[in-house]
């Protein structure tokens, strides 16, 4: 990695994996880097994804970034939500925006009931996961990881997945371990089921044969996926187009490795 010919004043918006990596590499190149994170800690969605006991490596990753950025003298401002009018953007030579993604909430009747919560909430606010019968709607990596976590805590978990099988977006080597663990902990997986509505004590779904079925639940957890968080990113880019780059999930939804690579290559080019 070659040092930058002319050190620049870099502002990074978002402390998720892409923002942490772009800050690290930019600082390694000799730039003056300031990172702004709207939450009370860095990590972004990795913070919630790393709550299960079996996700220790993800927790270690965030700890590693904390040490690297401290050693590289990156200025980190927590609990600071950047707006397009923030003076820090005006004075920056380049702006990287890693605003991440936000939960996808499809217009399914009853999805806003109190007993229907998001996957991120389920990880970070355990008190919201009430009762013993838990239904997770969405059998991707997020839903499967969360299902295993809750089953290991003694919950009776059912995963409802619209595709024929759950875990189809999981890397093969991880899926080979994850699916048997779900089975051994008694997690029920209903593939080929489309959620029709959320009710007071469960949900209605349509199975592959077109029949309507009811699945009882005390708490239902939305793990339908994520969508790009582009609102503030686009506003900032519209105002400072020549010096703004979008990175990570606010460009394309991906996994942690995808976000890290996005930050690495973006910073390498400055």
CATH, residue 174:
3.50.50.60
Going by pLDDT thresholds of 50, 70 and 90, the confidence category of residue 15 is very high
Q: Which two tokens stand for residue 150?
A: 């809750």
pLDDT at 114: 93
- Average pLDDT for 192-208: 97
Domain count, the chain: 2
Residue 178 pLDDT exceeds 90: yes
| Structural domain of 232 | 9-102+227-268
Residue 56 pLDDT exceeds 90: no
pLDDT at 16: 95
Residue that wins the pLDDT comparison between 13 and 55 = 13
Task: Provide the mean pLDDT of the chain.
Answer: 95
Residue that wins the pLDDT comparison between 76 and 2 = 76
The answer to the question of residue 140 being in a domain is: yes
Q: State how far the alpha carbon of 201 is from the alpha carbons of 38, 110, 243, in Å.
A: 35, 11, 51
User: Looking at the structure, do residues 117 and 73 belong to the same domain, yes or no?
Assistant: no
pLDDT at 54: 81
User: Looking at the structure, do residues 44 and 118 belong to the same domain, yes or no?
Assistant: no
Residue that wins the pLDDT comparison between 9 and 172 = 9
**This prediction's pTM:** 0.90
Of all residues in the chain, what percent carry a pLDDT higher than 90? 88
The answer to the question of residue 2 being in a domain is: no
Residue pLDDT, tens place only, 108-145: 999 999 999 999 999 989 999 999 999 999 999 999 99
User: Looking at the structure, do residues 61 and 144 belong to the same domain, yes or no?
Assistant: no
Residue 55 pLDDT exceeds 90: no
Alpha helices in 116-255 (DSSP H): 119-124, 141-152, 172-184, 231-239
pLDDT at 135: 98
Of all residues in the chain, what percent carry a pLDDT higher than 70? 100
The answer to the question of residue 97 being in a domain is: yes
Return the SS3 of 193.
coil
Question: What is the edge-to-edge ordering of all strands in the sheet holding 75-77?
Answer: 75-77, 32-36, 9-13, 94-97, 244-246
H or E element that contains 262: helix 256-268
Residue pLDDT, tens place only, 213-268: 999 999 999 999 999 999 999 999 999 999 999 999 999 988 899 999 999 999 99
User: Looking at the structure, do residues 67 and 140 belong to the same domain, yes or no?
Assistant: no
The answer to the question of residue 180 being in a domain is: yes
User: Looking at the structure, do residues 113 and 215 belong to the same domain, yes or no?
Assistant: yes
- Average pLDDT for 49-63: 87
Torsion, Cα of 104, 168, 115, 112 (10° steps) = 20
The answer to the question of residue 203 being in a domain is: yes
User: Looking at the structure, do residues 135 and 53 belong to the same domain, yes or no?
Assistant: no
User: Looking at the structure, do residues 114 and 150 belong to the same domain, yes or no?
Assistant: yes
Return the SS3 of 162.
coil
The answer to the question of residue 4 being in a domain is: no
User: Looking at the structure, do residues 197 and 186 belong to the same domain, yes or no?
Assistant: yes
Q: Choose the final residue of a domain: 222, 238, 256.
A: 222
The answer to the question of residue 260 being in a domain is: yes
Average the pLDDT over each of 18-27, 40-49, 66-75, 100-109 and give the range with the smallest value. 40-49
User: CA 52 to CA 224: how far, in whole Å?
Assistant: 19
User: Looking at the structure, do residues 253 and 242 belong to the same domain, yes or no?
Assistant: yes
Q: Choose the final residue of a domain: 222, 238, 254.
A: 222
Pairing of the two strands 202-206 and 212-216: antiparallel
DSSP state of 30: T
Q: Outline where DSSP puts E strands in 182-232.
A: 188-190, 194-199, 202-206, 212-216, 219-222, 226-228
The answer to the question of residue 3 being in a domain is: no
Query: Measured in whole angstroms, how far is the alpha carbon of residue 206 from the centre of its chain?
Result: 28
Q: Check: CB of residue 27 under 8 Å from CB of residue 75.
A: no
């Amino acid at each position: 990695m070659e040092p930058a010919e002319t050190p620049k004043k870099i502002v990074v918006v978002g402390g998720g994996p892409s923002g942490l990596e772009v800050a690290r590499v930019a600082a390694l190149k000799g730039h003056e880097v300031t990172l702004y994170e709207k939450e009370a800690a860095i990590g972004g969605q990795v913070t919630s994804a790393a709550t299960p006991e079996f996700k220790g490596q993800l927790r270690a990753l965030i700890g590693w970034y904390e040490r690297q950025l401290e050693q590289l003298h990156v200025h980190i401002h927590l609990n600071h939500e950047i707006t397009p009018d923030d003076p820090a953007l005006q004075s920056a030579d380049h702006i990287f925006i890693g605003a991440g993604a936000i939960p996808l909430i499809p217009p399914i009747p009853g999805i806003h009931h109190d007993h229907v919560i998001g996957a991120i909430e389920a990880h970070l606010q355990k008190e919201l996961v009430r009762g013993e019968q838990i239904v997770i709607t969405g059998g991707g990596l997020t839903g499967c990881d969360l299902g295993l976590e809750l089953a290991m805590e003694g919950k009776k978990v059912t995963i409802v997945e619209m595709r024929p099988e759950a875990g189809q977006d999981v890397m093969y080597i991880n899926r080979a371990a994850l699916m048997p663990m779900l089975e051994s902990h008694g997690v029920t997986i209903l593939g080929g089921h489309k959620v029709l509505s959320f009710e007071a004590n469960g949900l209605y779904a349509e199975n592959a044969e077109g029949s309507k079925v009811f699945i009882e639940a005390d708490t239902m957890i939305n793990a339908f996926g994520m969508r790009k968080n582009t609102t503030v990113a686009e506003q900032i880019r519209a105002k400072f187009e020549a010096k703004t780059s979008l990175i990570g999930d606010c460009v394309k939804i991906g996994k942690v490795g995808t976000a890290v690579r996005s930050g690495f290559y973006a910073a390498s080019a400055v």
